[in-house]
Structure 1
Amino acid sequence: MTHTSENTVTVVKAVWADALGIDHIAPDDDFLELGGHSLLAMRITARVSEEFDIDLPMPVLLRHPTLSRFTAAVERAVREKHGEGT
């Protein structure tokens, strides 16, 4: 599936909202401060990996805990997998 940057944000935000049970998530919201924990991180990275057909290890979310930073990491992983550079 091809994703635009805007679409990536929308998809990642929806995954976070569903997993965390929160309707509104801002770009600078922190996963852990929103109540995230390791089991939710595993669920989120698995869903995002499936959605974007990438292999995204759970620690990526913990290293990039805001929505905007995590989305950027997802976009990098997509570009790397599909040979579009870094």
Structure 2
Amino acid sequence: MQGRGNAVKDVELSGVPEDTAHGHPAATVKITNHTDRSASYAVQVDFEDSSGKTVETTVTALRNLGPGQTATLLTFGEKPAAAPTTPKIAKAQRD
């Protein structure tokens, strides 16, 4: 986990069907604050093709998530995907 940030364990991803996202890579980003204070998060999501190559990257941010709270966000790629992609957590940082 070194180099991936201090909040990777606070983040879960699930894919969004590309037909629902109008052909764009998309993911649901679920963040749970496991600390005892409010925290802000930045999550980098890489969308990979079937060979594991990153074809697009997005960053999602959330401010002031309370202790023990969970938030669910959506992140979308800018360009339509030529083939199906899989979202992966590249980095997740908590401040």
Q: Considering the TM-score relative to the shorter chain, is it more than 0.5?
A: no
Greater radius of gyration (CA)? 2
> Which has a greater percent of helix?
1
TM-score, structure 2 length as denominator? 0.27
Q: What TM-score results when the alignment is normalised by the length of structure 1?
A: 0.28
